[in-house]
Structure 1
Amino acid sequence: MQYKGEKAVRRKSCHGCKILEKKMNEVQKRFDDISKKYDEQRKKFIPCFDDFYRLSVSVASVNRENPDILDIGAGTGLLSAFLMERYPEASFTLIDISEKMLDVAKDRFRSNSNVKYVVADYSKYHFVEKYDMVMSALSIHHLEDEEKKEIYKKSYSLLKQNGILINADQVYGETPFIETLNKKIWRQYIEDSGLPEEEILAGYERIKLDKEATLDQQMNWLKEAGFCDVSCIYKFYHFAVMFGRKIV
């Protein structure tokens, strides 16, 4: 027998799923729209662009010259491009919800046969392989907090022994005051960057879809997922590079 309470819970759950699906569809649309301009905009939307990406790669250290690397929310393959400089023999799997963003990645890596592409929502996708590294840049902050926790758990399960996770992402300020300060400084930077006004306004619209969590929250979620050596290896206002390692 199904009780009224159970029906209500199921209806509520289905309603929540529809909201999340609608949000992810909006994320996909926004990034489809900027797929061709994404890379050229990055340096102007990220004040610490060079350090942000280079330091992410600097700690991407494993004991293999040809590691298996999973790039979740890979977009145009920008993070993977930096990783390929360090590991030219690596095998890459790039997954993203936006096919148009991955089309840019396919063009970028057209001469590299060691790259696979998956058009899917990585928070729901069923992976079958294991990886030496799970990497992500500027993607996980689009997930709700519970989804963030789950993707950290999923990433842990996908890693081989001594595998590493690196998440280069946006984080929410430690306090409301710090959050306001971080965003104020960021807006000042991009408004002085030379970007056309329409691109700046489009960027402001995209950040309405962000679901940032604090750095401390995410450090704790990584530990709860099983990671050791959890650390923030770099932070510049609301941009942070998080690290974790699987030892068993």
Structure 2
Amino acid sequence: MNQLKDKFDEISKKYDSQRKMLIPCFDEFYGICVSVADVNNNTPKILDIGAGTGLLSSFLLDRYPEARITLIDISEKMLEVAKQRFIGNENIKYVVGDYTKYNLSEEFDMVVSALSIHHLEDSDKKELFKKCYSILKPNGVFINADQVIGETPYIDSLNKKRWKESIEKSGLPREEILAAYERMKLDKEATVNQQLEWLKEIGLMDVSCIYKYYSFAVMFGRKKS
């Protein structure tokens, strides 16, 4: 985790500007997260795990301006960027810490994550999903927008080839492209199907991969009322 923290500390200032270039499906990827974030509450409590600079939360705030959001991330520098983004918003809480170990006792209407959980070992992913389920309110939703590994080695190589072709043409400076390739070495992706099964096993309903574009997927589940 320390190596991961260091990598994201390094890119904290550039993180947001890089996203649109590193995620070919950026608008749909984040837009679909917001579109399926349906709760019967205009002031939902939201937990954003691996929140980084608060990018996903900023889109959710467009839909729920009065939302009360807790952002947790291992990188203090990433959260410093988030604090600047949400300056003046007293409904935002910031927690610096490892979300796999942090004791979360409150309940939330939504637990969301974007491009973070794929850094965990599979056993830690499963434990985290259990924790997310335990802190969801009845009818609460879990949304994980993340990178996934291909179902077979061939599909995975195809997905990664398409992604590399895209970012090579993105206009990102060469050193930033190489840094992105270096960060990939820390990835521990799981397949969509594996993760959907884990979400079903913990008791979530309506489990689905709402969206997928090569290696990018939006996975969804809802807690029974």
Q: Which of 50, 53, 61 is 1:76 aligned to?
A: 53
Which position in structure 2 is the counterpart of 1:86?
Answer: 63
Q: TM-score, normalised by structure 1?
A: 0.90
Distance 1:179 1:108 in 2: 35
Aligned residues: 225
Alignment identity in percent?
Answer: 69
Q: 1:172 aligns with which of 136, 146, 149?
A: 149
Report the counterpart of residue 106 of structure 2 in structure 1: 129
User: Residue 48 of structure 1: which of 25, 28, 31 is its match?
Assistant: 25
Residue type matched to 1:125 in 2?
Y
Which residue of 87, 90, 113 maps to 1:110?
Answer: 87
Partner of residue 120, structure 1:
97
Distance 2:192 2:69 in 1: 27
CA distance in 1, matches of 2:105, 2:125: 20
Measured against aligned partners, the alpha-carbon deviations of 1:132-185 in whole angstroms (never above 9, x if no partner) come to: 000000000000000000110000001001000000000000100000000000
Is residue 217 of structure 1 aligned with residue 217 of structure 2?
no
**Structure-1 residue corresponding to 2:178:** 201
In 1, the alpha carbon distance for the partners of 2:196 and 2:11 equals 31
Q: Distance in 1 between matches of 2:54 and 2:18?
A: 14
Query: What are the ranges of 5 or more consecutive residues in structure 2 without an aligned counterpart?
Result: none
Structure-2 residue corresponding to 1:97: 74
**Matches of 1:161 and 1:85 in 2, distance apart?**
24
C-alpha distance after superposition, 1:109-149 (max 9, x if no partner): 01211000000000110011100000000000000000000
The aligned amino acid for 2:162 is I
TM-score of the pair, normalised by structure 2: 0.99
1: distance between equivalents of 2:100 and 2:206? 24
How many Å separate the matches in 2 of 1:115 and 1:194?
Answer: 34
Distance 2:212 2:179 in 1: 25
Measure the CA separation in 2 of the matches of 1:174 and 1:42: 25
Q: Which amino acid aligns with 1:208?
A: K
Question: In 2, distance between residues paired with 1:130 and 1:46?
Answer: 31
Displacement of 1:40 in angstroms is 0.1
| Paired residues for 1:137-152 under 5 Å | 137-152=114-129
In the other structure, the counterpart of 1:228 is 205
1:191 aligns with 2:168: yes
For the residue of structure 2 that corresponds to 1:209, the secondary structure is coil
- State the match for 1:16 in structure 2: none
Other structure's SS at 1:194 match: coil
For 2:94, what is the secondary structure of its paired residue? strand
**Shift, 1:192, TM fit:** 0.4
Are 1:156 and 2:133 matched, yes or no? yes
**Which of these two proteins has the greater Rg computed from alpha carbons?**
1
- Can you give the 5+ residue segments of structure 1 that lack an aligned partner in the other structure? 1-23
RMSD of aligned residue pairs (Cα, Å): 0.5
Within 2, Cα distance between the matches of 1:92 and 1:110? 13
